[in-house]
Copies of this chain bind each other. A is one copy, B any other.
Amino acid sequence: MNESSLLLWLVILGSIPAGGWSLRQPLKKPNIIVFFADDMGYGDLLSYGHPTQEYGAIDQMAAEGIRFTQWYSTSSVCTPSRAALLTGRLPVRSGFYATNGPTHERVFLTSGGGGLPRDEVTLPEALKNVGYSTGMVGKWHLGINAYRHDDGYHLPTHHGFDFVGTVLPFTNHWACDSHKIHLPHANRKLCFLYYNTTITQQPINHDNLTATLVLDAKSFIYDNQENPFFLYFSFAHMHANLFTARRFKGSSKRGRYGDDMNEMSWAVGEILDTIRSTGLSHNTLAFFISDNGPHVEICEEGGSPGMLKGGKATSWEGGIRVPAIAWWPGVIAGGQVSSQVVSTIDVFASAVDFAGGTLPHDRIIDSLSLKSLLLHKAQSPHQVLFFYCSDRLMALRYNSYKIHFHSHSFPSEEFIRYYACPDGGLPVTQFYYCYDCYGNCITSHNPPLIYNVEKDPGEKHPLSPWQHKEMIESVMAVVAEHKSTLKTSSHDPQLNIIHRSLVPCCNPPYCVCN
């Protein structure tokens, strides 16, 4: 065996980062993949410290790339989090808030008539401008219909995606319990599957969903091997985990939630293996990110925030700090763990930067490119990150500090134990203890509640506001400057619009198809 064949053999065995010892310069138009998980918690992966979740392809991706420990979502719920990913803008700038009702709706319902405004420039649109093919599969949650139950006005095909495979415009897995674990019948009004703009199943059957998404994504990759592509693989996992395929059932020590984690990992592995086997791994930048924190009120059916406080729908760290991995063998050094403070919102500018595109100039873009950070371990470009609930600024991250102006309450251990989830965490219903942005469950803080979340990531020990007056003054100046940029909102509040006639139905009045 000569030297080069030995080296090849070591690369094949996977023990040397593909690409060899020295990293290469990135190619000019890398393929970009975003795996986006739903309600997966900061503490759900073995690599993020879960003791009994099995090792899988997502952990492998982390070992081969960068695992981020202070990566934030822009929002603690799905719709605005996804809007920020695809627009690179704070959701409050692009219409993802409500102003009506006592609670201010936070996500699109099936009867919602709002959606991602068509004049928002999405990441696939920005990449198409520089020659990319664009595709997506999986969860959308950025609008369905605008005027009729079947116009599909807001579906992804109208937002820059050339290829749209199997897609879930809306998800509520609990209500769609096809395994009859919690409910005897699925609610057809909440449960439908599309292929591009057509309903293919109503109600949805979860059994083969993941395999179908994988097949669609693979075919998109095979079809676009010769040109740069952007793939948005948006998982139905983990959100109320009720859809594990038979072969993953019982695969986890953690029970059903762990089974679903294993299925999701399998899917990520299938896609990355496709990238490897098509010879594209040297030229593909992939992210794995969760959209927001775990739904802790459903106990064993929801995920774990690890050592963080709170969960989905709250602006405590458990709601907004998410697991996130960047992977590009041979270009991004493997085995890194980064504690830089960054955000899902940065995927937009980073992808456009790598692709050689340009950011829209006619609007405020909150996204900042992480190119130098990913390639050269540069510092984060952010000094501050803002966290909204609808149009209310709840909290911000400022250097090592977390500053809360308003915070969500959460249930006592006793409440969870006796009312929500008896017998080991089996939930009796799906609910949020404090979901609203203006409800009675919100506590306002003046002076703000401050934690040093680098010393105290669990937000257990607030700092004395009297001993941090100067810092609070700096923060208030930052907030005032930020708020001045919001005065000219370009969009009406999309979450105000609700009408029963807009609920998708494949064959009125029955709404049953397969």
Contact = CB atoms under 8 A, between A and B. Distances in A.
Interface in A278-300: 299-300
Given A49-B49, A460-B299, A339 B253 contact: yes
26 contacts: A2-B3, A3-B3, A15-B15, A46-B337, A49-B50, A49-B307, A50-B307, A51-B70, A51-B321, A51-B339, A51-B454, A52-B454, A55-B337, A257-B455, A299-B461, A300-B461, A304-B307, A305-B307, A306-B307, A417-B462, A422-B464, A423-B467, A424-B451, A424-B456, A424-B461, A425-B456
A69 interface: yes
A300 B460 CA distance: 10
Interface in A217-261: 253-255, 257-258
B306 A49 contact: yes
Instruction: Please give the count of copies of this chain that the complex contains.
Output: 2
A400 B51 contact: no
A48 B46 contact: no
Contacts of A1: 3
B460 A425 contact: yes
Given A15-B21, A253-B400, 8 more contacts: A3-B6, A48-B49, A50-B307, A50-B457, A51-B339, A52-B454, A299-B460, A300-B455
Given A6-B7, A52-B70, A255-B455, A464 B304 contact: no
A28 B280 CA distance: 47
Which residue, of A49, A254, A460, has the highest number of chain B Cβ atoms within 10 A? A49
Interface residues of A, number: 58
Nearest to A401: B424
B48 A69 contact: no
Contacts of A461: 299-300, 416-417, 421, 423-425
A416 B15 CA distance: 47
A382 to B, nearest CB: 16
Given A416-B461, A464-B423, A467-B423, A300 B52 contact: no
Interface string A385-410: 00000000000000010000000000
B55 A49 contact: no
Contact of A51 (B413, B416, B457): B457
